[in-house]
A = this chain, B = another copy of it.
Amino acid sequence: MPAKLRINKLVVIGVGLIGGSFALALKKARMVRQVIGVGRSRKNLQIALRRGVIDRAETDIARAVADADLVLIGAPVGQMPGIFARMAPVLSPATVITDAGSTKQDVIVAARRHLGACFPQFVPAHPIAGTENSGAGAAFPELFRDRNLILVPQPETRAAATRLVRAAWLACGARIVRLEAAEHDEIFGAVSHLPHVVAFALVNHLARHPDARRLLGFSGGGLRDTVRIAGSSPEMWRDICIANRAALVPLVDGYISELETARAALAAGDGDALEALFSSAQRARARWLVRGK
């Protein structure tokens, strides 16, 4: 490992599943000397300290980022403008900043606006990993192994900054993929944000049933898998969905149309039409979605 890729001071803002796992993976790879965790929840930071995810907890962003080599922002995307604004006045020109936000166009707009002259030190990124659990207690160093890390460097982004962020994620075991920000938001609106809306809405609909407790007591593995992601953090997903609503609203509309097509076939008792819909879905899943974890 080249000497320049050793990180003396890593600051993780938002020590959740993603930020915490990033810290643990870099520690395991012996790529980082010291990890400072910044967060809103004292209890979560205590868990992170106790589990060795971070070495020191800090509540003040400006104090934490002084002389950092690398800052990873793992907070919900709705908090990023405020975080950029707070760090901008004190950033050293040698500090590289990256993020793990699930949307990229809005984060880049916020970074460009609030980081100002430091914007070329910022490398937008998004690791495609997660579980339905959140918080430092859920973090583990293997989370990113063989997962995609989407890198979205901008024309102004310094090459050396991109290299450092790339090296850190490679050390976590991730595969690096470059995308344009708009392309990223369209893709993940479809394959990630829409499925979350679908799952949250399905649980809500069933929970509104007058006999919900009894009803859900009869559910099997099918429903449980279908709504697993409805266990995800409401705040995080609020931020993602609001940030990416330009891509997401048409996706929800298209999905509602698809349901209305199925509903029409059902109401008409049209078994052939319904079977055609189910068959095309079954084939598409087999072709594109059945793979190892």
- Interface residues of chain A, those whose CB is within 8 Å of chain B, are 78, 128-131, 147-148, 187-188, 190-192, 194-209, 212-235, 237-239, 241-242, 245, 248-249, 251-256, 258-263, 266-267, 269, 271, 274-275, 277-282, 284-286, 288-291, 293
Q: Name the CB-closest residue of B to A202.
A: B198
What is the bound-complex CA distance between A60 and B220, given in angstroms?
34
Q: List 19 A-B contacts (CB under 8 A).
A: A130-B222, A187-B214, A191-B215, A191-B219, A198-B226, A201-B258, A204-B258, A216-B289, A222-B229, A224-B291, A225-B226, A226-B229, A234-B275, A238-B271, A238-B274, A245-B269, A249-B266, A252-B266, A256-B263
Q: Do B228 and A225 touch across chains, with their CB atoms under 8 A apart?
A: yes
Is A203 a contact of B285 with CB atoms below 8 Å? yes
Which single residue of chain B is at the shortest CB-CB distance from A270?
Answer: B242
Question: Which of B228, B241, B290 makes the CB contact (< 8 A) with A274?
Answer: B241
Contacts of A258 in B (CB 8 A): 201-202, 204-205, 208
Known: A191-B219, A219-B191. A207 touches B284 (CB 8 A): yes
Q: Are A266 and B241 in contact (CB under 8 A)?
A: yes
Roughly how many angstroms separate A221 CA and B219 CA in the complex, as a whole number? 21
The reply to whether B235 and A220 contact each other, CB–CB distance below 8 Å, is: no
Counted per complex, copies of this chain come to 2
The 9 closest A-B pairs by CB, nearest first: A234-B278, A207-B284, A216-B288, A203-B281, A238-B275, A200-B281, A191-B219, A234-B279, A205-B258
**Bound form: Cα–Cα A267–B246 in Å:** 8
Known contacts A128-B220, A201-B258, A241-B274, then 9 further A-B pairs from the complex at CB < 8 Å, ordered by chain A residue: A187-B215, A191-B223, A197-B262, A207-B288, A208-B254, A213-B288, A231-B285, A249-B263, A252-B266
A256 CA / B216 CA spacing, docked (Å): 19
| A245 and B266 form a contact (CB under 8 A) | yes
Contact A195 B222 (CB under 8 A): yes
- Given A239-B271, A262-B200, A281-B203: A190 touches B209 (CB 8 Å cut-off): yes
Residues of B within 8 A of A128 (CB): 218, 220
- The contact of A201 among B216, B245, B262, by CB within 8 Å, is B262
Given A252-B259, A260-B256, residue A289 in contact with residue B234 (CB < 8 A): no
Known: A196-B222, A238-B275, A266-B242. Contact between A289 and B191, CB under 8 A? no
Q: Are A256 and B253 in contact (CB under 8 A)?
A: no
A259: contacting residue among B230, B256, B278, CB under 8 A: B256
